[in-house]
Amino acid sequence: MAAFDPICSGIPEMDACLDHIRLGDNVVWQVSDLREFRLFTDAYIRQAVKDRRNIIYFRFASHPPLVDPQPGVKIVPIELTHHFESFTVKIHNIIEQEGWDAFYVFDCLSELQTAWSTDLMMGNFFKVTCPYLFSLNTVAFFPLIRGKHSFRAIAKIRDTTQLFLDVYSDADHVYVRPEKVWNRYSDTMFLPHIFIPERQTFRPILDGVQASRFYTIMNRSQSRAVEQNKDAWDRFFDDAKQDYAAGKNIDEACSEMCKIMMSRDKKMRAMIQSQFTPEDFFDVRDHMIGTGMIGGKAAGLLLARKIIENNDPDLYARLEPHDSYYIGSDVYYSYIVDNNFWDLRIRQRQQQEYFALADDFADRLSSGSFAPEMEQRFVRLLEYYGRDPIIVRSSSILEDGFGNAFAGKYESVFCANAGTMTERLHELEQAIRTVYASTMSLSALDYRKRRGLDQRDEQMALLIQRVSGSHYEEYYMPCAAGVGYSYSPYRFLKNQDPSAGMLRLVMGLGTGAVDRTEGSYPRLVNLDQPEATAYTTVAERHRYSQRKVAAINKTEKCLASVSQRNIENKLPFYLQNQLLEHDTEAERNLRELGMRRQVRFISCHGLVKNRALMTDMKQMLADIQSVYQYPVDTEFTINLAESGEYVINLLQCRPLQVYEDTGKVIIPAPASDETVLLESKGASMGLSRTMDLDTIVAVDAKAYYEMPYAEKSEIAKCIGAINWKYRGQGRKMMLMVPGRVGTSSPELGVPTAFADISEFSAVCEIAVSNVGYNPELSFGSHIFQDLVEAEILYTAVFENDHTLAYHPEALDGCVNHLKEWVGSDQYADIVKVYETKCRLYYDVESEHLLCVLKKTEE
């Protein structure tokens, strides 16, 4: 049938009064009781069965059925859970299967509030479902309970639907007042109508006596409605606050607050409820914009801080107070719905377009607009923070959970927060868009896919934090920052106690602690021996020290990577003495040449010598781990005063996935028909294993170094193409590259993302110091966390006694299969793909690795 063709509703006089229900119409009935809805639905179903329509009843609510089982009606049960997206997609998939001209009845829309705890998401569901039904020329009936929803939610539904009909009744009369009838008009259409079910009459009210009765019933019905100026979410929290103030037990309400706002993970919820008071839940809500979850990162941060507060009040007094804000996960969905991106979102979730549509969807997410009321909330947030720099951090629902760290997969964006309010608002909104768009990054999508999370709801909440730090002329930064681990499986010192924990410490902002940056190394601190290092000379400590400092440039309004020499003299002397160390050997050599000059490097030596500070860091990590009953990974800043007073700001906490070794591997002597490719000690990280490698992908260091700088990223693309071509095919591959993987700097190595190397079983970084390629066992970086979670063995070829043997010439006789693998031999002199018989052994306990090639017959 054609769009907008009239259909019979089963009540002929109603058809005449409304100029018929039409194909494409969504009909919303606002009722006080679902029995009122059935007066019209029963007639609609009877007529549809008589007319041999394709009738579908979506059954998802707890209320009694609205359609009786009968021939000609398909009853489709849908589980109503807190997963908005999964629920919506299931219904849309069924609508797609049923196709054109179908007739629908939905359970009560108000029931959605019980699962999603907010009117906002009910409105979003209707806003994306109604147009889809309309596009297929369907007819759909929806009931909605009067007075249970905010005026804003009702307005969203009324603006989207084609017919919105208000139903009122008492013991003797049923009245219907059309609030909206789209694309039709008559002189009496919008008058109240009286419906007599026994006679099936439906007529407009034209006389004053009947009108008086109608308004009496309408006013009585509306007076029973709850406060509709607020969303159901706000009403729930307000009621909980009132009950708590009145001295009532609100344990059940706290449990509900934890479930709808803090975490979906049962283990996390149990820990949160054991540590939080009702005031803590109310405080989170008071600092929240929108509704929904605050996400894994925010929940982990708040839980960790409460653990310290409850278990070590003295230590908590030395923590910097947090004043974070949270943008709820429902805002992300509303942003997609309000900008009409939902259809693209649904398409992107499908297997065949999961990766293909990602860039398009990311572009859309980067260009949407925010609702005026949301912008007003953003302005109030900026007014609260004044002109202090802030950071917008991802805090997705699945992020920072047990087994799913999502380390570095989503963006965090610093905002200088300077200039006019218009400029500051634009900067904040653009930062939010950037984080939203990062949900479609290849690394994030691949991570979710590999871990079986690609069909899970992954709403993006946001954590807004004031950047901890001080002003140093045009720069703003903390004295130091880093990541801290309550357990360290990577032993960089002899006799190191892994259970003491470790820090990855940098001067300035903490980006250098989690990323592999150009020529820069963080200070590794074993909390059992804080001052100890793996280097024996000052020259070595200088060589492997931090060279660039991350800070916010207030003048340029951006995050800057500043060289040490450009920032050190902007620091007060007391701070220079805490963070910088003299290279006494270099200074002595210069004096012998007649030059007196200070040579300093960043070592944070004053911090690691501060016993009280290091004890606090160790205790903080141990306290949190004791409650988690699991190792934890934290982020922090440290700020110092000239008096020696310090404050620690705990910024993030999540479970730390560590290697759980499966047992000792005996490393054999090479057989007579085997050639040693690599043998090392103390240069690997991963589980003990013995495995056969069928493929080695190697990048020639000299050829890579000599290629034009602008083309070096092509080698990363080439490796990525190999990685993705053989994704999921069970190959055992080892990647051998000069310098570092997981870096954005081609001068440090091949600039691969984890998504480019995720299919390799082992990754080997090779030192070529004469051209500046130096591996780094960067325990604590994002790339390290990826390797741990994917159980990829990491090893390195160092130019020191860690490397017992290295014979790359053993591969010289092998055939390069690059063209077969990627379809081009353009870079065959740089990238080698060898199909070999190779056996690799690694034992964690002895830190011994051996990789041998089986000799080929002459």
Q: How many other C-beta atoms lie within 10 A of the C-beta of residue 823?
A: 10
Q: The tokens of 122 are what?
A: 């009910």
Distance, C-alpha 36 to centroid of its chain = 44
- Strands 646-655 and 632-640, by their bridges, are antiparallel
| DSSP per position, 745-772 | -TTTB----GGGTTT-SEEEEE-BGGGT
C-alpha 232/C-alpha 736 separation (Å) is 57
Q: The tokens of 850 are what?
A: 């051996």
DSSP 811: G
Burial (CB count <10 Å: 0-12, 13-18, 19+), residue 240: buried
C-alpha 200/C-alpha 723 separation (Å) is 68
At residue 375's C-alpha, the angle toward residues 371 and 376, to 5°, is 120
Burial (CB count <10 Å: 0-12, 13-18, 19+), residue 592: exposed
- 473-to-54, 554, 646 alpha-carbon distances in Å: 72, 9, 21
Q: How many other C-beta atoms lie within 10 A of the C-beta of residue 449?
A: 18
Q: At what angle are helices 278-286 and 232-245 packed, to 10 degrees?
A: 140
DSSP 339: T
**The 475-477 sheet, strands edge to edge:** 470-472, 475-477, 548-553, 558-563
- Strands 55-59 and 103-106, by their bridges, are parallel
3-class SS of residue 610: coil
Q: What is the largest CA-CA distance in the chain?
A: 113
Q: The tokens of 757 are what?
A: 């190397």
Domain spanning 234-467: CATH 3.30.1490.20: yes
- Strands 139-145 and 26-31, by their bridges, are parallel
Q: How far apart are the first and last CA of the chain?
A: 76
3-class SS of residue 801: coil
Residue 356 has, within 13 A of its CA and on its CB side, a CA count of 6
C-alpha 668/C-alpha 839 separation (Å) is 11
C-alpha 699/C-alpha 716 separation (Å) is 10
Q: If we measure between CA atoms, which residue out of 344, 356, 346 comes closest to residue 724?
A: 356
3-class SS of residue 191: coil
Q: The tokens of 125 are what?
A: 């569901």
Where are the domains positioned within the chain? Answer: 6-223, 234-467, 471-655, 674-854
C-alpha 850/C-alpha 45 separation (Å) is 74
- DSSP alpha helix (H) spans, 562-690: 564-567, 573-579, 584-592, 605-608, 611-628
C-alpha 190/C-alpha 184 separation (Å) is 11
CATH code for the part of the protein at 6-223: 3.40.50.300
C-alpha 285/C-alpha 849 separation (Å) is 52
Block residue for tokens 């912008």: 375
Q: Are 271 and 258 in contact (CB under 8 A)?
A: no
Q: Are 843 and 857 in contact (CB under 8 A)?
A: no
Block residue for tokens 């021996």: 529
Q: The tokens of 702 are what?
A: 């000299």
pLDDT of residue 232: 86
Q: What are the pLDDT digits (tens) for 154-164? A: 999 999 999 99
C-alpha 131/C-alpha 94 separation (Å) is 15
| DSSP per position, 39-90 | HHHHHHHHHHHHTT--EEEEE-SSSPPSS---TTEEEEE----S-HHHHHHH
Q: What are the pLDDT digits (tens) for 81-109? A: 888 888 999 999 999 999 999 999 999 99
- The residues with which 319 forms a beta bridge, in sequence order, are 648
C-alpha 40/C-alpha 403 separation (Å) is 51
pLDDT of residue 688: 85
- The residues with which 691 forms a beta bridge, in sequence order, are 840
C-alpha 94/C-alpha 508 separation (Å) is 53
**The 288-289 sheet, strands edge to edge:** 288-289, 325-327, 460-466, 390-396, 412-415
For 77, phi and psi rounded to 5 degrees? -75, 135
Q: Do the domains 471-655 and 234-467 match in fold?
A: no
Q: If we measure between CA atoms, which residue out of 414, 261, 432 comes closest to residue 339?
A: 432
CATH code for the part of the protein at 471-655: 3.30.470.20
C-alpha 612/C-alpha 614 separation (Å) is 6
Residue segments in the chain with a per-residue pLDDT below the cut of 70: 1-3, 222-229, 403-407, 489-494, 513-519, 658-662, 771-772, 774-783, 789, 856-858
| DSSP per position, 656-704 | ------------PPPPTTEEEEEEEES-EES--EEEEEEEEEEE-HHHH
| DSSP per position, 108-121 | -GGGHHHHHSSHHH
Q: Are 339 and 305 in contact (CB under 8 A)?
A: no
pLDDT of residue 858: 43
Q: How many other C-beta atoms lie within 10 A of the C-beta of residue 574?
A: 14
Q: The tokens of 514 are what?
A: 């989690």
Residue type present at position 173: H
Gyration radius of the chain's alpha carbons:
32
Block residue for tokens 């250098």: 512
- DSSP alpha helix (H) spans, 136-229: 151-160, 208-223
pLDDT of residue 537: 86
Q: Are 39 and 195 in contact (CB under 8 A)?
A: yes
Block residue for tokens 């993987």: 741
For 117, phi and psi rounded to 5 degrees? 65, 10
- Strands 848-854 and 674-681, by their bridges, are antiparallel
